[in-house]
């Protein structure tokens, strides 16, 4: 605990803790191993917080720029001419693909990406349009974002209440119904959750969409996922604290998204595939952690088993929803989840520093 008008150095504070990520109405939640006698109920006191900036998105951008000269993307390849952006021209800021008179200009149609036969595509799109009728402006945005995507990029603008989220839901459902994988991103967890919740509710309410659209997954940071896996750990008090906080949080959004959280899906997948070596290892370490806790080495092995199981599971997913900064995590990048489309919600609020997509 802190005193006013004092500069603190390492070792000066009376107590230490660390900020934890839990659902709470408080502005700040700090976990400590014990509570000192100075802490009394209903008494205000000051605290000192040390903030360590997250430079990972900026570092990833710099690394990507360094790799540009050694990478050939689809738009730079002979077979990709006129069908994709050139990474080199894009980095140099040429923007040549955006000019209709330029030979590099191109228009994409999501139907050409779908593995389904044309008659199945039309059948599924008609069903989605019946479920989600769009007005003229929304329909134009839908077309520009799916079957007539200029230079592979479409921007939907409009004030609040004009149906941007509804249009985005229709777009994502159309893509996944045609067996096209989608990465859904936003600048904040709240924005990601809002859009994914709408998608989950829409699919849950229609049997055909459930059959067509595949598995959606909410991807949080690997550290967050592991903490949820260890919620019943016998040796991690902070994990137990988070579990208690989650148990008291009955908000509708969290309840709706609970079944698509990555950690829940991975555990269910492991339980259904106990003969898989990674699944078997994950279940064994989870059981040990619950019974008597894990050593540091055991925690590392639990994390490795979890991430290997997650890598295999992501391949079968049709939609992964995460924040822009989380999209650059190795677990997601190295998986076999290869989206053909990226949908970014509330893109106007996204700062360049968090756009670490690669």
Backbone angles phi, psi at 328, to 5 degrees: -95, 0
Classify residue 2 by its DSSP letter. Answer: B
* Mean pLDDT for the stretch of residues 190-215: 95
Tokens of 138: 């929304």
Closest CA to 165 of 138, 189, 146, 188: 138
CA distance 311 to 155: 31
Structure confidence by residue, pLDDT tens digits, 82-141: 777 777 777 766 667 778 888 778 888 999 989 999 999 999 999 999 999 999 999 999
Asked if 22 contacts 242 with a C-beta cutoff of 8 angstroms, the reply is yes
As a whole number of Å, the CA-based R_g of the chain is 23
Percentage of the chain modeled with pLDDT above 90: 44
Which of residues 258 and 77 earns the better pLDDT score?
258
| Helix, coil or strand: residue 260 | helix
* Mean pLDDT for the stretch of residues 67-94: 74
Closest CA to 152 of 191, 200, 109: 109
Task: From residue 350, give the alpha-carbon distance in Å to each of 185, 198, 266.
Answer: 10, 21, 29
Query: pLDDT at residue 250 above 50?
Result: no
CA distance 54 to 31: 21
Percentage of the chain modeled with pLDDT above 70: 81
| Helix, coil or strand: residue 276 | coil
* Single pTM value for the model: 0.75
DSSP count for the chain of H helices, then E strands: 14, 8
């Amino acid at each position: 605990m802190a005193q006013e008008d004092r500069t603190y150095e390492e070792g000066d504070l009376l107590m230490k803790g660390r900020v934890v990520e839990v659902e709470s109405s408080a502005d700040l939640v700090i976990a400590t191993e014990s509570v000192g006698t100075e802490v009394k109920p209903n008494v205000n006191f000051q605290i000192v917080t040390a903030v360590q900036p997250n430079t990972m998105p900026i570092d990833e951008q710099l690394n990507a720029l360094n790799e540009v000269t050694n990478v050939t993307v689809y738009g730079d390849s002979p077979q990709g001419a006129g069908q994709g952006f050139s990474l080199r021209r894009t980095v140099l800021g040429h923007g040549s693909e955006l000019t209709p008179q330029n030979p590099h200009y191109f228009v994409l149609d999501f139907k050409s990406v779908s593995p389904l036969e044309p008659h199945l595509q039309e059948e599924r799109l008609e069903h989605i349009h019946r479920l989600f009728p769009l007005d003229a402006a929304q329909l134009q945005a839908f077309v520009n974002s799916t079957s007539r995507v200029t230079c592979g990029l479409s921007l939907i603008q409009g004030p609040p209440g004009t149906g941007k989220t509804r249009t985005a839901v229709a777009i994502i459902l159309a893509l996944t119904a045609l067996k096209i994988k989608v990465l859904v991103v936003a600048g904040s967890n709240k924005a990601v959750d809002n859009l994914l919740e709408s998608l989950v509710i829409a699919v849950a309410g229609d049997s055909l969409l459930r059959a067509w659209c595949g598995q959606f997954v909410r991807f949080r940071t690997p550290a967050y996922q592991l903490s949820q896996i260890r919620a019943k750990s016998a040796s991690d008090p902070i994990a137990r604290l988070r579990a208690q906080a989650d148990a008291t949080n009955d908000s509708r959004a969290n309840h709706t998204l609970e079944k698509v959280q990555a950690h829940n899906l991975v555990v269910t997948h492991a339980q259904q595939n106990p003969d898989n070596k990674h699944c078997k290892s994950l279940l064994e370490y989870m059981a040990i952690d619950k019974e008597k806790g894990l050593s540091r080495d055991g925690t590392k092995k639990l994390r490795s088993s979890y991430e290997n199981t997650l890598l295999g599971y992501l391949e079968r997913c049709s939609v992964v929803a995460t924040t822009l900064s989380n999209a650059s995590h190795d677990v997601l990048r190295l998986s076999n989840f290869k989206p053909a489309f990226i949908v970014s919600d509330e893109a106007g609020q996204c700062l360049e520093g968090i756009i670490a997509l690669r």
